[in-house]
Amino acid sequence: MNGHPLLEAREVSVRFGGLVAVDQVSAAFAPGELVGIIGPNGAGKTTFFNALSGVVEPTGGELYAGGQRLTGAKPHRYAQHGVARTFQTPRVFAELSVAANIDFGLQFAGRHRTASWLLKDEASILNLIGLQAQADLPAAAITPSQQRLLEIGMALATRPKLLLLDEVAAGLTESEVDAMAQLIRRLRDELDLTVIWIEHAVTTLLRYVERVIVLHQGRKIADGTPAEVVRNAEVIEAYLGDEMVEPA
Ligand SMILES: Nc1ncnc2c1ncn2[C@@H]1O[C@H](COP(=O)(O)OP(=O)(O)OP(=O)(O)O)[C@@H](O)[C@H]1O
Ligand SMILES: [Mg+2]
């Protein structure tokens, strides 16, 4: 550890023409944190992830990984710093087997980075995400929720330090959402990962994260513990009033 955050955004903005999708958002992520990101549709959550992983170049502000300036660098440079992500629309190779999809991630990772012993090979990753029985099926043949797990497995295969999860529980049943939240917690605990997790299933998310960032119209309106955030008047007004019909 060199004392720097794993990843840091300093007043990051992303504009699309006249629209400011991300508006001067600052946030630092320390090793081992599990951080949720919530906010209404169109709040800028995915665009912020795109900036944090080099998929989109910020139109303002700076990004640092381990204290090194990465603003404007391509996604592979972020990957070299241990940043891995999933996409809101799962991206798996439909015709390839589940195992081959994982293998792709392992090859992409190459030699660098210290692999956690738990991620040493395809079998250990399949075991971790619970898809051993589906290893030989084409990715197209598994259920949508299993495809979400597979996408997490592919990201894990790159042996990340920081995992960005964009709505991996979307479309899952209530019990599947809970299982997903438990898996995310386990990944953080057992693999020493830093995880940033975007999800609309706020009630569940707030039970599993230690810190939550709230975005609204591109701006960060809160960043604190779940207990702090659910009491924040601006957050309730902007978002939670609709999402949380019952107390967490
Ligand atoms: N490539 C793009 N070009 C133009 N506008 C975009 C682009 N990507 C996103 N936007 C706009 O930026 C804003 C933020 O979108 P974003 O997808 O980041 O929101 P989000 O918080 O992830 O929403 P959701 O919860 O629906 O996934 C929206 O108004 C969206 O229409
Ligand atoms: Mg999104």
CB 214 within 8 A of CB 238: yes
Closest by CA position to 200, among listed 36, 19, 25: 36
Which residue minimizes the CA distance to atom 30 of ligand 1?
42
Which residue minimizes the CA distance to atom 8 of ligand 1?
47
Closest by CA position to 106, among listed 175, 154, 167, 162: 154
Res 59 pLDDT > 90: yes
CB 80 within 8 A of CB 74: no
Dist CA 13 CA 133 (whole Å): 44
Helix H or strand E encompassing 19: strand 19-29
- At residue 21, φ and ψ (nearest 5 deg) are -75, -35
Mean pLDDT of 146-174: 93
Which pLDDT does position 14 carry in this prediction? 98
Average pLDDT, the chain: 91
Per cent of the chain over pLDDT 90 is: 77
CB 164 within 8 A of CB 52: yes
Which residue minimizes the CA distance to atom 16 of ligand 1?
44
Mutate to test the pocket of ligand 1, among 12, 15, 23, 47 (most ligand atoms within 8 A of CB): 47
Dist CA 63 CA 60 (whole Å): 10
Q: Is the CB of 211 under 6 A from ligand 1?
A: no
Which pLDDT does position 218 carry in this prediction? 98
Ligand nearest to the backbone CA of 87: 2
Confidence band for 242, pLDDT divided at 50, 70 and 90: low
Q: Is the CB of 206 under 6 A from ligand 1?
A: no
Which pLDDT does position 156 carry in this prediction? 92
Mutate to test the pocket of ligand 1, among 13, 23, 45, 52 (most ligand atoms within 8 A of CB): 45
User: Which single residue is written with the structure tokens 């209530």?
Assistant: 174
Mutate to test the pocket of ligand 1, among 46, 53, 59 (most ligand atoms within 8 A of CB): 46
Cα distances from 10 to residues 22, 59, 101, 105, in angstroms, run 12, 12, 35, 30
Which pLDDT does position 248 carry in this prediction? 43
Question: Helix/strand/coil (H, E, C) string of 48-104?
Answer: HHHHHCCCCCCCEEEEEECCEECCCCCHHHHHHCCEEECCCCCCCCCCCEHHHHHHH
Ligand nearest to the backbone CA of 50: 1
Dist CA 228 CA 174 (whole Å): 25
Assigned token pair, 20 = 């400011």
Tens-place pLDDT, residues 67-92: 899 999 999 899 989 999 999 887 88
CB count in 10 Å sphere of residue 213: 23
Across 120-129, 144-153, 203-212, least confident range: 120-129
Question: Could you give all domains of the chain from N- to C-terminal order, each with its CATH number?
Answer: 1-82+161-248 (3.40.50.300), 91-160 (no CATH)
Q: Is the CB of 21 under 6 A from ligand 1?
A: yes
